[in-house]
Amino acid sequence: MPRGRPPAYTRDQVVTAAVTVADTDGLEAVTMRRVATEVGAGAMSLYTYVPDREHLIDLMVDRVAGEPVPPRVTGDWRADVLALLVMQRDLMRAHPWLPGVLGGRRLTGRNLLGFLEHGLRALEPAGLPGITKMTLLGLFTGFVASYVTGELTSDPALAAVDIGAAVTSGDFPFLRKALIEGGGGPLEFPAIADWMIAGLVEQARHQQKAG
């Protein structure tokens, strides 16, 4: 039997084009037609490589998850998990569409599984059950995604005006007191992430001992 014509493009090229579109114009710009145009293919021919847009997004997430080199695991679970979250934050800032697509998605690509494997290895010295470690890693990723979303969408100048107006109204005395007390300026991401890591892990340990 004669062989069919070989594919003109590869799935890798299609995913690369989709990531470029999302980075440049946002995830809403990633349509099958737009990606087909970017690779120079017909819109219908794109379905040869991916069955639908949702599957394409799954592949995009897994693709960018493989970009950074995971930090070295030192055996200090707190420092190792923090380094992992800092890496996640950098990745999400590089791909602003990423935080918004993580929730409820099929995160089963090899790069994502590699990230999970790295996180479990980092948490191993904490002495927690496997399901607890996996739950914690999910919570940590959700925190990073929420934090980055706030960074990318908030306008500090407008927020300051709104809070200032609320404080001067006299309706929020504890908010006014907190702002007057201050405390050396806003905390940076590593400090906040470290608090969360330590608090959640220690609480999980406490419940494990109690249970």
pLDDT digits (tens, 9 = 90+) for 80-119: 999 999 999 999 999 999 999 998 777 779 999 999 999 9
Beta carbons of 84 and 134 less than 8 angstroms apart: no
**For residue 81, how many other CB atoms are within 10 A of its CB?**
26
Beta carbons of 32 and 46 less than 8 angstroms apart: yes
Residue 71 lies in a domain: no
What's the domain range around 58? 11-65
CATH number of residue 24's parent domain: 1.10.10.60
pLDDT digits (tens, 9 = 90+) for 109-166: 999 999 999 999 999 999 999 999 999 999 999 999 999 999 998 777 666 667 778 7
Cα–Cα distance measured from residue 209 to residue 20, given in angstroms and rounded to the nearest whole number: 48
**Same domain as 99, residue 53:** no
Beta carbons of 201 and 136 less than 8 angstroms apart: yes
Per DSSP, the three-state class of 21 is: helix
**Same domain as 57, residue 87:** no
Q: What is the pTM of this model?
A: 0.86
Beta carbons of 86 and 190 less than 8 angstroms apart: yes
Per DSSP, the three-state class of 206 is: helix
